[in-house]
Amino acid sequence: MFGAVRRFGVSQALRASAPRTLSSRWAPQLLKWQAPATRSPVLIRSFQTSYPALSAASAEASEAPAVDQELITEFADLQTKGFVDASIVRNIISPDRMGLKTMTDVQSQSLHHMLQGGDVLAQAKTGTGKTLAFLLPTMQNILSDPTLNTKQDLGRRGQPSAADIRALIISPTRELAEQIAAEAMKVAAGTGLKVQTAVGGTQKRLGLQRIQRMGCHLLVGTPGRIKDIFSDPSSGVSAPRLNTLILDEADRLLDQGFAPEVKLIQDLLPDPFKVSRQTVMFSATVPKEVMHMVKRTMKPDFKFVKTVRDDEVPTHLRVPQKTVFLRGYENALPSILELAKNYQVKQQANPDLRPFKAIVYFNSTAEVNLAAEAFNHLKVEPTEQRSQNPLGRMRLLEIHARLSQSQRTNSANTFRKSSEAILFSSDVTARGMDFPEVTHVIQVGVPRDRETYIHRLGRTARANKTGEGWMFLHDGENDYFSDRLRDLPIHEDSQSIPTAMADMSKGLDNLSPATALTISQIKAAVQEVPLMTRESTYRSQLGTLLQSFASKRHAIRILNDLALNGYGLSEPPAVSPNIARNLGISKIPELVIGHSQQRHVGLGQGSSSTDRVFGGHRSSDRSSGSWARSFDRSDRSDRSDRGSSRGFNDRGGMPRRSFDRDNDRGDRSSGRGRSFGGRERSSGGRERSSGFGSRSPF
């Protein structure tokens, strides 16, 4: 009888007529279990009579007087009380597996309603166990479904088939999808449930073959690839029994323009009036766009779980944050190295300090490439080929959208498992990614907007751990910076990093031995980076700095000094006449205009046209303003289903490969100020001559 209710959606119609009490659900509710009116001999099954839709029996039980029982906060109690399968609980609590004991608020408060098949909108801050909060009940529901693993569901080898997908999880990025799938496999170990992924940057054909060969119960993927699979009749993958749809990072999915893809995916899934569908959304914030989707896709009696207190201090207000002003952008890499060295010295003196584990964010992929390769070439004695890296055995990794998906996954997993490491990153890791024990988030240059800064910073101080944020930027970016981040508790640090203000256009004799050594180590390492990479990085930074500096001429001078004193080039790389005109910089005397003889990172795959740089846009088709904002964008949202990278480098044991050269920029904001907004400054801040030996206005 209950199967008929599920198939024909009668229970859904009954639920749709129930009164909606949204306001009552906005207050956090602690999970207290209610004894059902009638229990079957198997408690797990009694909890599932309503799966995937609420049945009449469960409706009757919900009307029965509530029996107050002890609040369940321990995972082990889910097994002893018969709510969750023993294999799942064992995977979660065993010390040699996930090793978790106590449930977080979002896990305990959303579990009961999800196990009953109800729709849930959950708001919780990052690092609070949101992934496990939806994985645990989803997998329990699949295991408890009486139609699972019937003869028609099994393939020829007695395994689940490609048509046995019961739950679909949509994530905004490949990295987050891979992270969710990895955790799902841990939870599902030994249960027989099959977890598969469908993400861009991987070969679609191989993924389909894996699903068809091994079967799938839980599919995790990105919107583009999932839409591609389900809309392709020849894919051989369908989901006629799918009854759970989960949107993770719902606010980010909508913010990055995935709403049309999500809507199309929903239309491609089984008719909810024939196969009742549970819809679950997890989100760090609940803007109006998320609520609009809730109204369109969720049943009227959905539950809203909010575990973020209105008076709770968010990460970006409680984490110590410092900004260091650079004499020039050539000082950025030496400053990062000095920061890491200083912390290592402190950690050696105080073993209670956690090892240095940092994410360094840049605003273009080219900068990520260059920084990662340079740090992998560092030597204690720059002139000795066999000299060791001054950072010791620290893992040095990079991640961005131009790497293949397998390389990105490898970098993310290696960084996640490492106790001491630096991950040079674009914005693909800025939201949703969970890396444990991150002590530092370092941002080079001003992020494109306030939200980007906050989400990057959120990669540290997770799971009740401490952390700190650092930003390295130029003095001339003060106004742009303060306009966007003026109300955040960011304090200037002018003492900790002497390297930041060293004049790198001159010799090292007048510098302290430590500063001189750090600069010489970086300069020698950068010389090991291919010339093409250094030139293309200069061009990728051209657009970012033109936006963050009030004076375009000042920005060109800063970049030229970076090319000469930081990248070790004999002269600034040439910029094509068309690009210079479209950027409005063709009349700046310091700019080198011409046609390079080499192919550049921004030319697009295989293109040799010097008019196609900065991400492949033709300069003649764009006006100065719009063109400057559009090229070389950082991979803030990974919407591509194809990976175009050529490789990555990891000094800590990974195979060395050639670096990808594609520019991939995000807009940078600027600004500075000792009180961050409290003092008015001239448009260019303190100007410097091209040699950085003196300061003078233009």
| pLDDT band, residue 595 (cuts 50/70/90) | confident
Q: What pLDDT, on a 0 to 100 scale, did the predictor assign at position 670? A: 37
Return the closest-CA partner of residue 17 out of 301, 302, 304, 303: 301
Q: What pLDDT, on a 0 to 100 scale, did the predictor assign at position 474? A: 96
Contact present, 276 and 11 (Cβ < 8 Å) = yes
Rounded Cα distance between 447 and 431, Å, is: 14
Mean pLDDT across the chain, nearest whole number?
79
The helices-and-strands tally (H runs, E runs) of the chain is 25, 16
What would the 3-class secondary structure string for 335-398 be?
Answer: HHHHHHHHHHHHHHHCCCCCCCEEEEECCEHHHHHHHHHHHHCCCCCCCCCCCCCCCCCCEEEE
| pLDDT band, residue 464 (cuts 50/70/90) | confident
More confident residue, 170 or 31: 170
Task: Quote the percentage of the chain above a pLDDT of 90.
Answer: 58
Q: Specify the residue for token string 């599932």.
A: 48
Q: Encoding tokens for residue 218?
A: 């839980």
Q: What pLDDT, on a 0 to 100 scale, did the predictor assign at position 316? A: 82
Q: What pLDDT, on a 0 to 100 scale, did the predictor assign at position 660? A: 37
Query: What residue ranges do the domains of the chain occupy?
Result: 2-142+161-306, 315-531
Q: What pLDDT, on a 0 to 100 scale, did the predictor assign at position 70? A: 52
CA atoms within 13 A on the CB side of 159: 14
Strands of 475-579, DSSP E: 490-492
What single-letter amino acid sits at 680?
Answer: E
Residue range 206-216: average pLDDT?
91
Q: Could you say which DSSP state residue 282 is in? A: E
Residue range 218-240: average pLDDT?
93
Q: Is the pLDDT of residue 598 over 70?
A: no
Question: What is the separation, in whole angstroms, between the first and last Cα of the chain?
Answer: 83
Rounded Cα distance between 209 and 230, Å, is: 15
* CATH superfamily for domain 315-531: P-loop containing nucleotide triphosphate hydrolases (3.40.50.300)
Q: Encoding tokens for residue 360?
A: 């360094």
Residue range 60-84: average pLDDT?
67
Angle at 27 between CA 25 and CA 28, to 5 degrees: 105
Q: Is the pLDDT of residue 85 over 50?
A: yes
Q: What pLDDT, on a 0 to 100 scale, did the predictor assign at position 149? A: 62
Residue range 4-24: average pLDDT?
37
More confident residue, 47 or 142: 142
Residue range 665-679: average pLDDT?
38
Contact present, 423 and 397 (Cβ < 8 Å) = yes
What single-letter amino acid sits at 556?
Answer: I
- Predicted TM-score (pTM) of the model is 0.67
Does residue 301 sit in helix, strand or coil? coil
Strand partners, 396: 422
Angle at 647 between CA 646 and CA 649, to 5 degrees: 150
CATH number (3.40.50.300, 3.40.630.30, 3.40.50.10300, 3.30.565.10) of 2-142+161-306 reads 3.40.50.300
Q: Is the pLDDT of residue 191 over 80?
A: yes
More confident residue, 19 or 421: 421
What is the tens place of the pLDDT at every residue in 104-117? 999 999 999 999 99
What is the tens place of the pLDDT at every residue in 483-532? 889 889 999 999 999 999 999 999 899 999 999 999 999 999 999 999 99
CA 80 to chain CA centroid, Å, is 37
What is the tens place of the pLDDT at every residue in 294-331? 999 999 999 999 998 876 777 788 899 999 999 999 99
Residue 546 has phi, psi (to 5 degrees) of -65, -30
Rounded Cα distance between 126 and 89, Å, is: 23
Q: Encoding tokens for residue 41?
A: 């001999």
